[in-house]
Amino acid sequence: MERINAVIESADVYKISDLFRTKPPGLRFNETDALVVIARSDDGQRFESIFYFSLKPDGTFEEEILGADAAKFRRHRLASFLRYYKIAEDASAYKLKNRVGELKGLNVEAVSQDGNMAIYVP
């Protein structure tokens, strides 16, 4: 898997109900919000990555949750994204809702999976 450079063009936090008419299969009741990140690779290809989580009233999210492994994996993926790109050292204290605008212009790595581009998250 070759990694290529990309730049985040926009990032916003949405309620899942604003993005989809019905909740996508596999998402749990405690996954109510999504971070949608749109990026453009050096070769001009535009793509998006979506991170699912549940936003707390103070604008942060809880990385460790009770429940299904898939939901835990999705939260850890968001936390790994924040740590890997040095956006936040402590992902659970990062006020994502208030600081989402800081992601614009951030350099990230992208990988191709089955012909689709995605932001690389270790």
Q: 76-119: per-residue pLDDT in tens? A: 999 999 999 999 998 888 999 999 999 999 999 999 877 889 99
Rounded-to-integer distance, Cα 35 and Cα 88, Å: 15
Beta-strand runs (E) in the chain = 3-15, 33-41, 46-53, 107-113, 116-119
* pTM of this structure: 0.90
Structural domains in the chain (count): 1
Structural domain of 92: 3-119
Closest CA to 42 of 99, 95, 117, 114: 117
Structure-token pair, residue 56: 């707390």
Residue 114 burial (CB count, 10 A)? 5
Closest CA to 15 of 29, 35, 1: 35
